[in-house]
Amino acid sequence: SIYFSTLAPKLSFDFIRKIQRNYGMKKIVILTGAGISAESGLGTFRDEGGLWAKHRIEDVATPEAFARDPALVHRFYNTRRAQAVQAQPNAAHLALARLEAGFDGDVLIITQNVDDLHDRAGSRNVVQMHGALTGALCQVCGFRWKAPMEMRPSDTCPACKKQTTRPDIVWFGEVPYGMSVIDPALASADIFASIGTSGQVYPAAAYAQHARRMGARTVELNLEPSANARDFDQRFLGPASEIVPRWVD
Ligand code: BV8
């Protein structure tokens, strides 16, 4: 028992992480926001002329807004769905896909974006925590399916046939997707990178601080320092299509 007690303190979390690190079992967790898709032509939210300059969040991105005026909310997402289909992944999306393909460890992308540009760039390990423009959801039976380009309030659910379909988007006040994957990933990340997000929407805006507290090195790649800039050990400023490939390659 003496032997065990002297050994036990060493088998601490840090010691195990050091073993992992020495054997190269590195984990990189990357949070992306609207800024990574800006150079693909998709609007951001809080920049000059952004989406929230044209629409109030309360009118288009809450369950109450959808209950009040589903046609308006569908128009908002139908417009963005059409833009997202036209958009192409840019050099930043492609660089992250290269990183995942060539890295001898885990790379997880947690995106706040509802476009599918990470998937189309070739990234496979992606969590769309705020939902997807390509998704439709039934409010009654919970069935999820590929959204038509134009969603309408009269659309019926393929499973329960009721007129209760909505965009498969996480609105304010709703629980984000993927928490069971995100929480353990933040706890075991060696590197946490935040790309193209203003750091103003929770719980995503708290991820850098949490990952750092759990031992990760944190880095921010953005056009300008975000609202949670203090949470980062390193910062690279500039357009994502320029700074992300440099960071990856
Ligand atoms: C939750 C829908 C509980 C999808 C979005 C009080 C009352 C009620 C709630 C709250 C409250 N206080 C806090 C909350 C929680 C609330 C919240 O955070 N509110 C904020 C406004 C204070 N959050 C929620 O309600 C979330 N749910 O908390 O549930 C819970 C939590 C945990 C566990 C269990 C339960 C749900 C949040 C999701 C809301 N849905 N949108 C859509 O329509 O797209 S959020 C919306 O903001 C988008 O999803 C977007 O992704 C997200 C974040 O925006 P960014 O991506 O950062 O975009 P932004 O324009 O802000 O910034 C762009 C950045 O890019 C800038 O920094 C810019 O400089 C940079 N940039 C621009 N161009 C480039 C560039 N960078 C590089 N290169 C470029 N070229």
**Is position 130 annotated as part of the catalytic site?**
yes
* Selection from 100, 133, 127 nearest residue 32 by Cα: 127
13: exposed, middle or buried (C-beta count within 10 Å: 0-12, 13-18, 19+)? exposed
Residue that is written with structure tokens 């507290």 in the block: 213
Return the percentage of the chain with pLDDT > 90, whole number: 82
208: exposed, middle or buried (C-beta count within 10 Å: 0-12, 13-18, 19+)? buried
C-alpha 202 – ligand 1 centre gap (Å): 6
Q: CA-CA distance, 29 to 108, in Å (whole number)?
A: 5
C-beta of 53 in contact with ligand 1 (< 6 A): no
Question: Which of 18-22, 127-131, 144-148 shows the lowest mean pLDDT across its residues?
Answer: 18-22
211-225 pLDDT per residue, tens: 999 999 999 999 999
Q: CA-CA distance, 176 to 129, in Å (whole number)?
A: 5
Is residue 205 over pLDDT 50?
yes
Q: What is the interface pTM, i.e. ipTM, of the complex?
A: 0.94
- pTM, rounded to two decimals: 0.91
Catalytic residue among 93, 118, 130, 210: 130
Residue 111 and residue 126 in contact, taking contact as beta carbons nearer than 8 Å: yes
How many other CB atoms are there within 10 angstroms of residue 44's CB atom? 21
141-173 pLDDT per residue, tens: 999 999 999 999 999 999 999 999 999 999 999
49-87 pLDDT per residue, tens: 888 778 888 899 999 999 999 999 999 999 999 999 999
